[in-house]
């Protein structure tokens, strides 16, 4: 499974986040390589209100047991079923 790390800016009002703030995200994709997924990744995030996306890192997660954080494990499982899943850090970047 492909894992993508980066930042994105919230472009529309959201009860949990402030419009215009930039947040870190982690995203899982069942399809690889990253270069072949960029348009789909952008569409996925933009549909959810995020834009000005910057991918800072990517890699491969071979096994769910390689992930320790419960939220990331849940996102991994969701991506297995839906193709993509994203988590967003609650704190905005300064």
Domain architecture of the chain: domains with CATH: 2-88 (3.10.510)
Can you tell me the distance from the alpha carbon of 76 to that of 70, in angstroms, rounded to the nearest whole number?
A: 10
Is it the case that residue 74 has pLDDT exceeding 70? Answer: yes
The mean pLDDT of the chain is 92
Is it the case that residue 16 has pLDDT exceeding 90? Answer: no
Output the CA–CA distances (angstroms, integers) from residue 54 to 22, 24, 63, in the order listed: 10, 9, 26
Helix and strand numbers, DSSP H then E, in the chain = 2, 4
**Per mean pLDDT, which of 32-41, 66-75, 84-93 is the most reliable?**
66-75
Give the model's pLDDT for residue 94: 65
Q: Check if the beta carbon of residue 84 is closer than 8 Å to that of residue 42.
A: no
- Structure pTM? 0.87
Q: What is the mean pLDDT of residues 55-79?
A: 94
The strand pair at 50-60 and 84-88 is best described as unpaired
Can you tell me the distance from the alpha carbon of 9 to that of 93, in angstroms, rounded to the nearest whole number?
A: 10
């Amino acid at each position: 499974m492909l894992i993508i790390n980066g930042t994105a800016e919230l472009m529309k009002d959201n009860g949990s986040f402030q419009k215009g703030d930039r947040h870190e995200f982690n995203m899982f994709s069942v399809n690889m390589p990253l270069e072949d997924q960029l348009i789909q990744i952008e569409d996925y995030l933009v549909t959810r209100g995020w834009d000005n996306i910057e991918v800072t890192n990517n890699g491969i997660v071979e096994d769910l047991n390689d992930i320790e954080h419960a939220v990331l494990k849940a996102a991994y499982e969701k991506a297995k079923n839906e193709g993509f899943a994203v988590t967003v850090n609650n704190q905005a970047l300064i």
